[in-house]
Amino acid sequence: MLISNMEVVPGKKIVKHLGLVQGSTVRAKHAGRDFMAGLKNIFGGELTGYTELLTESRDEAMERLSEQARAIGANAIVNVRFSTSSIAAGASEIFVYGTAVVVEDR
């Protein structure tokens, strides 16, 4: 599956548009991590635990995105965008969407 955030794929021709595909995931941190983050709010610095957590959730959202695209017979997703929102204290939603297309070599 070719995933790109450009509208066109260099060297490839879009032969068919299959519409919007999306993937999302909501994740929460466990209390231990939250406690550590609270401490870090005093000292400053990177919150490695949160960085990893968000990377994992983004990977999962991308997995769902490509699953959906595969199901409708696409071989590429173009114009991919990410969006993150804190929906509740300690939980954030990662949303990724794009256009499923069929591409061919030019």
Partner 1 sequence: MESLINLIIFLLLLTLGYVFGRMAESRHYKSIRQREDELRSLLVMPKKVPPPQYALYESELVMGNVVISVDYFKTFVAGLRSIFGGRVGAYESLLDRARREAVLRMQEQAQAIGAEAVYNLKFETARIGQSAGQGLGSVEVLAYGTALLPPSVYSEMAPQA
- Binding positions for partner 1, rule: CB under 8 A: 2-11, 34, 37-38, 40-48, 50-51, 54-55, 58, 80-86, 89-90, 92
Identity of the residue, 13 or 17, whose beta carbon is nearer to partner 1 in the bound complex: 13
Letter string b/e over residues 6-37, b meaning 16 or more CB atoms within 10 A of that residue's CB? eeeeeebeeeeebeebebebebebeeebeeee
Distance of closest approach, residue 29 Cβ to partner 1, in angstroms: 9
Identity of the residue, 32 or 38, whose beta carbon is nearer to partner 1 in the bound complex: 38
Distance of closest approach, residue 3 Cβ to partner 1, in angstroms: 5
Pairing of strands 76-88, 2-3: parallel
| Beta-bridge partner residues of 91 | 28, 88
Identity of the residue, 1 or 20, whose beta carbon is nearer to partner 1 in the bound complex: 1
47, two tokens:
């919150």
Distance of closest approach, residue 50 Cβ to partner 1, in angstroms: 4
